[in-house]
């Protein structure tokens, strides 16, 4: 119980401190860097890695995507007609994909 009270008190005191007292812009333990530092030479532009061609989807992946698109189009027409019968897209798509 005392530990909680002490922790709460410490948290309350820390929250009550002004923000400027909590954050400082410089570290008092570090020596400041020299103000007149020479600008570094610009690095040579990195050559872009050759773009690899995207791997084309397999026939099975294309068929799956097409089935999903067909079910999506069917869902949209049902939604516009108000004939979803209380189903959600997730329920409908599961049934639709099983049929196809």
pLDDT, one tens digit for every residue, the chain (100 residues)? 777 767 767 766 766 666 555 565 677 777 777 666 556 666 666 666 666 788 999 999 999 999 999 999 999 999 999 999 999 999 999 999 998 8
Residue 37 maps to a domain? no
Predicted local distance difference test score (pLDDT) of residue 43: 62
Number of domains in the chain: 1
Whose structure tokens read 């690095």? 43
Residue 3 maps to a domain? no
Find the domain containing 74 and state its range. 60-99
Residue 66 maps to a domain? yes
Residue 67 maps to a domain? yes
Asked if residue 71 lies in contact with residue 100, where contact means CB atoms within 8 angstroms, the answer is yes
Residue 65 maps to a domain? yes
Q: What Cα–Cα distance (Å) separates residue 20 from each residue in 13, 14, 26, 71, 88?
A: 14, 12, 12, 58, 52
Residue 18 maps to a domain? no
Q: The whole model's pTM is what? A: 0.46
Asked if residue 84 lies in contact with residue 92, where contact means CB atoms within 8 angstroms, the answer is yes
Residue 16 maps to a domain? no
Tally of residues, the chain = 100
Residue 92 maps to a domain? yes
């Amino acid at each position: 119980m005392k530990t909680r009270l002490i922790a709460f008190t410490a948290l309350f005191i820390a929250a009550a401190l002004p923000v400027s007292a909590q954050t400082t812009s410089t570290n008092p333990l570090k020596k400041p860097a020299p103000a007149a530092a020479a600008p570094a030479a610009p690095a040579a532009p990195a050559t872009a890695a050759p773009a690899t061609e995207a791997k084309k989807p397999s026939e099975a992946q294309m068929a799956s995507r097409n089935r999903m698109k067909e079910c999506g189009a069917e869902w949209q027409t049902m939604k516009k007609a108000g004939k979803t019968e209380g189903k959600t897209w997730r329920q409908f798509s599961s049934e639709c994909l099983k049929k196809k």
